Amino acid sequence: MSWIKKHKWILASVVVVAVCFGFLGYILFDMLNQKATPTTAQKVEDVEESAKTPEEVVSEEVVMSSNPFGSEQASLSEDDILNYMHGMSHQKVIADEKWLHYEMTDERILFLSNAVENGQYEHEEVMMDILTRWKKGDFSQADEDHNAIWSIQGGTIGKATGIMSEEQEQQYLERYDESIK
């Protein structure tokens, strides 16, 4: 007890420092977890979001929260996006060589579209043009889309020469069933 009386200033200082660090830690934690104040554009998006059906909102949240390609990556590089798009385009095009095989799904198209919209990429315009068509189910230019991606990637072998019929596409899916991701 006499030690406490002798060193009360030191003890008080330690307690004050500990409380300050605790308070600062709480503030820092709160700042990191706090959402940013919405801008006018975000408020407009929120209004648009509220007009969507619950199924659309859930669908988009699932797409934005997890990578449907099975990767654990938090963000995608331009090369990742181009590789995914290139691999998916193989399901729709005729080409002599195809090395990447990703099944083309609405979920994956929406995921990539959201990634491009929310990022900054050198070939953003080309990627968005293609993904916008694909979101609408328009694959009438799939061979040109493939070749645009292929060209950006520096492709020399495997240029698309046409678009598969539905029967050819089904055969492709069956043929590469084991290697389609």
pLDDT in tens, the chain (181 residues): 676 677 777 877 888 888 777 767 777 666 665 544 344 334 444 545 555 554 444 444 444 558 888 787 768 899 999 999 999 998 999 888 888 888 899 999 999 999 999 989 999 999 999 999 999 999 999 999 999 999 999 988 888 999 999 999 888 888 877 767 7
Contact 129, 137 (CB under 8 A): no
For residue 163, give the 3-state DSSP assignment: strand
Strands (E), the chain: 93-95, 160-163
- For the four alpha carbons of 163, 165, 169 and 175, in that order, the dihedral sign comes to negative
Report the Cα–Cα distance between both ends of the chain, in Å, rounded: 71
Q: How many CB atoms lie within 10 A of CB 40?
A: 7
Long-range pairs for 27-34 at CB < 8 Å and ≥24 separation?
none
Q: What pLDDT does 51 receive?
A: 53
Overall size of the chain counted in residues: 181
What is the pTM for the complete model shown? Answer: 0.62
How far apart are the C-alpha atoms of 69 and 2, rounded to whole Å?
A: 67
Q: Where are the domains of the chain?
A: 2-33, 74-175
Q: What pLDDT does 66 receive?
A: 81
Nearest alpha carbon to residue 92 among 81, 110, 104:
104
Angle at 32 between CA 31 and CA 33, to 5 degrees: 95
Q: What pLDDT does 54 receive?
A: 46
Q: What pLDDT does 179 receive?
A: 66
